[in-house]
Amino acid sequence: MLRWEKIEEGAMLLHSTVISLVPPYSFERLLRRLETHPDPQLFVDTEASTLRRAFRVGTRPVLASLQFAGSTEEPVIRLNTEATLSPAEQQLLEKTVRHMFSADQDLTPVYEHMRQSPEMAVLTERFRGLRFFLDSDLFQSMVKTIIGQQINLAFAASLTQRLLELAGDMMEDTDGRTFMAFPTEEAVARLEPDDLRPLQFSQRKAEYIIDYARAIVNGTIDLDRLWQMEDEEIVAYLTSLRGIGRWTVECLMMFGMGRPDLLPAADIGLRNGLQLVFGLADKPDEKEIRRIGAAWTPWRSLYSLYIWEAVGAVRRKEVWE
């Protein structure tokens, strides 16, 4: 565990620690990706290379800033918070940040594998240091995934923000900016679908989210167990809940857990990306994606991320050669 420092700043006590990441890590590429993947919980200061966010440390909301202070080849994040934290809370917050930034992901074997394909080799150079920016916890990840079912990213972000405003915890920083900590399982479990319908949640989407929260609160689902399960065990365990299918669980494993070998073959973004990257005449169907993706094992999640990023780069009008 890294040592936390206590630094006096006027009347405020600042807890600060430095987190090293396995290189390469591209903070610039993360910021680019956030342009097309809005997150209502994040305040991004591009000039200061800083993200600010309210985290849950246990059930307690804590506001922290994450400053990228290194380079792609020597990546370092300085984690700062003005909250008074116990040693156990400091460790938990640091663990959460390391998880979100995929701090221990070694891209070397992934790139060696990708370079076997000329099309993917180009992406390893163009997007060097890109890795998953994961959800902070599995409850939040599943709720966001259910919200995102069959709607576009912008509308999903709007619905997520409305849920945060309804049931989350509000915090302000010293500049008066408002931050929202994601609602707890208990807070969502207390809701009724009629609470979410005025916020433009469909009846079923509202029911699925609340049912999921209640399953955790009443002990039907134990999220901590997932970390000891194989992928297919997780799929079987969670698809027992209404409204949660294989695609939803695969998204949880990719964006919440960082599992490396998942292929969301039904995803429209992956279809568009494969057509773009591999120069296909038509968009591949699910069967064709599974055929192409068979060669990507054991890194199918990372292949998918880089292909998605190619689509994002085009949408952001980055120069594409």
Q: DSSP readout, 64-128?
A: EEEEE-S-SSS-EEEEEE-S---HHHHHHHHHHHHHHTTTT---HHHHHHHTTSHHHHHHHHHTT
* Residue given tokens 């433009």 in the structure block: 200
Known catalytic membership, residue 211: no
User: DSSP letter at 199?
Assistant: G
Q: Which two tokens stand for residue 169?
A: 């915890």
CA–CA distance from 310 to each of 7, 128, 240, 294 (Å)?
Answer: 42, 12, 35, 20
State the first-to-last Cα distance of the chain, in angstroms, to the nearest integer: 43
Q: Dihedral of CA 293/299/303/308: which sign? A: positive
Residue 271 CA to residue 265 CA, distance in Å, equals: 8
Q: Report the DSSP pairing between strands 169-172 and 76-81.
A: unpaired
User: Which of 208, 181, 212, 182 has the alpha carbon at shortest distance from 196?
Assistant: 208
Buried-state track 63-87, b at ≥16 Cβ within 10 A, e below 16: bbbbbbebeeeebebbbbbbbebee
> Do residues 168 and 180 lie in contact, with contact meaning Cβ atoms separated by under 8 Å?
yes
Active-site option among 106, 135, 211, 267: 267
Q: Which two tokens stand for residue 23?
A: 């290189």
User: Alpha carbon 16 to chain centroid distance?
Assistant: 23
The set of catalytic residues is 267
